[in-house]
Amino acid sequence: MPENQNFNPEDGLPISKVRAGKVSKYKIEHFVAPLDETPLQAVDSVKETGKPLSMWAEAWRSLRKQPLFIISAILILAIIVVAAFPQLFSSQDPTYCALENSNEPGRAGHIMGFNLQGCDIYSRVIYGTRASLLVGVFTTLIVVIVGGALGALAGFYGGWIDAVLARLGDIFFALPLILGAIIVMQLPAFRDNRSVWTVIITLAIFGWPQLARITRGAVIEARSADYVKASRALGLSKFNSLLKHVIPNSLAPIIVVATVNLGVYIVAEATLSFLGVGLPPEIMSWGNDISTAQQQLRNNPMMLMWPALFLSVTVLSFIMLGDAVRDALDPKARKGA
């Protein structure tokens, strides 16, 4: 066929032959692969009978597949069991001290050795878990309740409520957590009644503004959603709409921040006790043991290493858990679960 011959784009035949009527039109056949021979059927298949998962169900399904969450959850569960039942892990009396055992190395029945006063380091570390964990857990609960409530009210109602709470939060933001806690713990009412609860209250005073700001932003984003407007159109009051719709859909960032901050409060308690303004010496905690061990750092460094190791593992576990929860609750981080 000549190279310069024109073709009809519809028929694929020379235009001259088509115009002459010598050749009838032919349809071009296209090959389509059968659907069962392509992987698209499996990819695009959807279980129409299955019940759609909620955000929390999808997050839980994602968490179960993350090694980071599994490892951190196992460590935190072990720490909680140790704090709740320390007698199951140590048969020694942590308050019994014998000066003849001062700075003695580890031996049978005393695997971590003895401190300067001749107390068993292992039993003190085990029994000190309770006070440190209580400070972290209850401080986080108070911060979530107070900061979450104030942040939700400020974000949902706005106006003068938002302005007043924002200025109040700025006042507490002016002081760092540790510095503000040191100042409060030196007040006569706190200095003369030092206990686990005074440390919890002090840390909560300076911890709520951060969570209130996070809650405020989440509530502002959720209050303009269509389901909130629909609930208001159906006659639900603003406060009930806040409780039933806005707050439940704003919990994701609050949970993430609270999980990470729990470890921060444990470190803050240890820091205050290390500086001598936290828990009193008669209360066993990792911070008090680290403070006592600094005097014998050169002679017996293991005395400081063991409580510091338990403190580090605990804080790292909560930080890892917070990272895993954040990835699971973030829709952009989830990959086709």
Residue 301 belongs to a domain:
yes
CA-CA-CA-CA torsion sign (325, 330, 334, 337): positive
Return d(Cα 285, Cα 269) in angstroms, integer.
9
| CATH number of the domain bearing residue 165 | 1.10.3720.10
Tally the domains of the chain.
1
Band of residue 39 on the pLDDT scale cut at 50, 70, 90: low
β-partners of residue 114 are: 120
pTM metric for this prediction: 0.78
Token readout for 211 is 């969570």
pLDDT tens per residue across span 126-167: 999 999 999 999 999 999 999 999 999 998 888 888 899 888
- Domain membership of residue 68 as a residue range: 57-329
- Torsion-angle region of 158 (φ positive above 0: left; ψ -120 to 50: alpha; else: beta): left
β-partners of residue 120 are: 114
Residue 159 belongs to a domain:
yes
pLDDT tens per residue across span 236-259: 888 888 888 888 888 888 988 999
Residue 157 belongs to a domain:
yes
Cα Dmax for the chain: 120
Query: In the prediction, which pLDDT does 230 show?
Result: 87
DSSP-based three-state secondary structure for 148: helix
> Quick one: which of 318, 205, 303 has its CA closest to 266?
318
pLDDT over 70 (residue 2) = no
Residue 95 belongs to a domain:
yes
DSSP assignment letter at 87: G
> Quick one: which of 306, 285, 92 has its CA closest to 101?
92
Band of residue 29 on the pLDDT scale cut at 50, 70, 90: low
pLDDT: is 333 or 134 the higher one?
134
What mean pLDDT, rounded, does the chain reach? 82
Residue 86 belongs to a domain:
yes
Residue 15 belongs to a domain:
no
Return d(Cα 326, Cα 287) in angstroms, integer.
29
What average pLDDT does this structure show over 302-310? 90
Band of residue 71 on the pLDDT scale cut at 50, 70, 90: very high
Torsion angle, alpha carbons of 149, 269, 91, 293, to 10 = 170
Residue 336 belongs to a domain:
no
Residue 92 belongs to a domain:
yes
Band of residue 336 on the pLDDT scale cut at 50, 70, 90: very low
